[in-house]
Structure 1
Amino acid sequence: MGLEKAIKHGKEHRKPYYGSKAVDQTCRNHGTCPWCMGNRLYHRRKLDQAASDSVKDYLAK
């Protein structure tokens, strides 16, 4: 069933977006806005920083 047909017959049950997700399409899951990307990639940035620090320590010896 197509989306338009589902909406017409009342079969569409998707929840509407709230907050910033309703305003900006890039501010959704896996979005590209800087705020969401920073929150999503926090652990990866920490691991990259730890790896670069260990390489610097190894090369300094």
Structure 2
Amino acid sequence: VVVVVVIVVIVVVVGVVVVIVVVLGSNGGNVVVVVVVVVIEVVLVIVVVILLQVVL
């Protein structure tokens, strides 16, 4: 469980960094990248919540 949480936290942090980098170097096409990353983040959070509910 701890391993899963750690992995998810790392992925979320990486995702946030990616968003920041994309925004700082913003071009028109990067909006798609931001949307995709945000969707992935949301899905991961939902999965983690479900896993925690099952485990706990």
TM-score interval for Structure 1 and Structure 2 normalised by the shorter chain: 0.3 to 0.5
Which has more radius of gyration? 1
The structure with the largest helix share of the pair is 2
Instruction: Give TM-score scaled by structure 1 length.
Output: 0.36
Instruction: Give TM-score scaled by structure 2 length.
Output: 0.39
